[in-house]
């Protein structure tokens, strides 16, 4: 049985991806800082029996250890998805006015926590037949939008982490029969989520796609397993008539 760990899965893209994976028979370990929302969301999924809810803050070392332990108890780990993200203040401040404490919090969630959780998860991933790590990116990582300096720079740094981690995993097994972990930075694009609404307070974002319509693009990436790298959901749209 395949096992995934998806952070920030009480709502939005993390929840949509969890639904997609459990629909395929995967066991999925999920977390969120909001314990009540996490448990309610997990219980409402059609395959709630395949969801292991571990409430907590991904920036907490003890919680990260709990996540790795839960994956181990579930049978190992095939897929690690770093979805939990911190936007920062809303409305989005310019860099000239960005509170440094808030900027540190953005980097703690979006960069340092994924690195730390990956370090814990790698021993489990190395035992998998097709080990995979996915970091959720953003177009703000590659485009310079006013107000997005904090969040965007944290995601740009995470993109670099994904690229280097992939190169390191390939180098680590060179000359052996071991399968290196594929590492992907996945940019879902704009979505109709609570975090995106916080980025545009008071604006109508109903024209953005629902996360449930974007998750199939990541499932396609996992199915096709191209070389590690940065991929956009817009480039992985399902062919007409395809159902995941």
Q: Which residues pair with 182 in a beta bridge?
A: 132
- Is 151 annotated as catalytic? yes
Helix count and strand count (H, E) for the chain: 8, 7
Question: CB under 8 Å to 217, separation ≥6 — which residues?
Answer: 186, 188, 233, 234, 236, 237, 238
> Cα–Cα distance between 237 and 242 in angstroms, integer?
10
User: What is the pTM (predicted TM-score) of this model?
Assistant: 0.96
The SS3 assignment for 145 reads: coil
Low pLDDT (below 70) residues in the chain: 238-244
Residue 32 is predicted with a pLDDT of: 98
Residue 238 is predicted with a pLDDT of: 53
Cα torsion 95, 101, 102, 106: sign: positive
- For the chain, the structural domain boundaries read 3-235
Contact 230, 136 (CB under 8 A): no
CATH number, domain 3-235, options 3.40.50.10860, 1.10.3720.10, 3.40.50.720, 2.60.40.150: 3.40.50.720
20-34 pLDDT, tens digit per residue, is 999 999 999 999 999
From residue 52, alpha-carbon distances to 11, 29, 177 in Å are 15, 5, 32
Calculate the CA dihedral of residues 35, 41, 42, 47 and round it to 10 degrees: 180
157-203 pLDDT, tens digit per residue, is 999 999 999 999 999 999 998 999 999 999 999 999 999 999 999 99
Locate the DSSP E strands across 31-98.
51-53, 79-82
Contact 38, 76 (CB under 8 A): no
Instruction: Give which of 26, 69, 19 is closest to 45, Cα–Cα.
Output: 19
């Amino acid at each position: 049985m395949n096992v995934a760990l998806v952070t920030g899965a009480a709502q939005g893209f993390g929840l949509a991806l969890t639904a997609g994976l459990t629909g395929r028979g995967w066991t999925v370990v999920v977390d969120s800082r909001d314990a009540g929302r996490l448990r309610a969301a997990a219980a409402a999924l059609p395959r709630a029996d395949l969801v292991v809810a571990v409430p907590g803050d991904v920036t907490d070392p003890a919680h990260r250890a709990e996540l790795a332990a839960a994956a181990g108890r579930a049978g190992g780990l095939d897929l690690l998805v770093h979805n939990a993200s911190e936007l920062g203040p809303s409305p989005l401040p310019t860099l000239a006015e960005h509170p440094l404490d808030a900027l540190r919090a953005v980097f703690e969630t979006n960069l340092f926590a994924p690195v730390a959780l990956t370090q814990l998860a790698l021993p489990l991933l190395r035992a998998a037949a097709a080990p995979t790590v996915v970091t959720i990116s953003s177009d703000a990582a590659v485009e310079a939008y006013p107000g997005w300096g904090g969040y965007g720079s944290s995601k740009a740094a995470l993109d670099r982490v994904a690229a280097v981690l992939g190169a390191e995993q390939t180098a680590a097994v060179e000359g052996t029969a071991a399968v290196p972990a594929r590492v992907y930075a996945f940019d879902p694009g704009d979505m109709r989520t609570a975090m995106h609404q916080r980025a545009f307070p008071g604006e109508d974002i109903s024209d953005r796609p629902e996360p449930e319509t974007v998750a199939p693009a990541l499932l396609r990436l996992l199915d096709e397993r191209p070389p590690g790298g940065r991929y956009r959901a817009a480039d992985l749209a399902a062919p007409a008539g395809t159902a995941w």
